[in-house]
Amino acid sequence: MKKPGIIWLGFFLLAVSGSAQSDSAFRLLRTMKGDIVDFTVDNLDNIYLLTSRNQIKKFNANGDSIAVYNDIKKFGQATLIDVSNPLKVLLYYRDFATVVMLDRFLNAVNSIDLRKQNTFQAKAIGQSYDNKIWVYDELVNKLIKVDEDGKWLQETPDFRLLLGVAPSPIKIFDENRYVYVYDSIYGVYVFDYYGGLKNNIMINHWQNFKVAGKYIFGSRSDTLFRYEISTFRLDEWKMPEQIYKSKAFNFSSSRLYAMMTACNGTENCIRIYSLR
């Protein structure tokens, strides 16, 4: 990969707005209840639920069931579900360093044991724009692109030499020609497709981090954040108690999804809000 060029820092102070917005920004659209341990959403507002039996269930934006993935015995519970491409779902099982690829109907089409290609400590993975996979390997401190067999196609220099630190990324997103690598302490490192470091956005200690379209979403305590990448604009919303005490959040460009426990007795639920 090419060496990085100039690093441009995107600071929140350039354009911060919306801090006075209230909970009126959140309008409840509907609620999904059931056996829900975790969930994610794609850019078409399809919802993917992980159940206590390690099943993955897919629902469309209207809440209609589309598909179920039942092949749960081999690797146990998935560490990560990547649905950034609705046509290709990635399940990552970190304990086994294994990626399972599903089609849009949740049929298994391939699996990759990253260890067979000498990737031993893959902390985070993410889909690439060309249907390959980005992997951050903590053993070598590099961002790597691998193919459907796990073979290394590209790699950055060692992050310790490139950045002067050894980050521990927890999320990788490939969006609009850039790769976003998020470390909760050091912020967001933005790379081009050749491995050139373009930016370090100083976002720290956000939970529920996600890059969706032109925005970066996240939360901290009772505050929801939406950062517009091109303008450095940061919108903030103070969330009502019933939302910010949720177990987890997820986002699309216009919706907030909040997972809550014991919504109806013992059942968990997901409440879906429009985000104005």
The model's pLDDT over 44-79, given as tens digits with 9 standing for 90+, comes to 999 999 998 889 999 999 999 999 998 766 787 888
**C-alpha–C-alpha distance, residues 212 and 198, integer Å:** 19
133 near 127, Cβ under 8 Å? yes
Taking CA atoms, 224 is separated from 217, 220, 230, in Å, by 8, 7, 19
pLDDT given for residue 108 in this prediction: 94
What angle (nearest 5°) sits at the alpha carbon of residue 180, between those of residues 1 and 134? 55
**C-alpha–C-alpha distance, residues 104 and 232, integer Å:** 34
**C-alpha–C-alpha distance, residues 56 and 80, integer Å:** 12
Give tens-digit pLDDT for 168-187: 999 999 999 999 999 999 99
- The mean pLDDT value for 17-37 works out to 75
Domain edges within the chain: 8-275
**Given this structure, which CATH class describes domain 8-275?**
mainly beta
Total-model pTM? 0.88
116 near 98, Cβ under 8 Å? no
End-to-end CA, the chain? 40
271: left (phi over 0), alpha (psi -120 to 50) or beta: beta
**C-alpha–C-alpha distance, residues 127 and 255, integer Å:** 22
Helix or strand or coil: residue 96? helix
pLDDT-derived band at 233, boundaries 50, 70, 90: very high
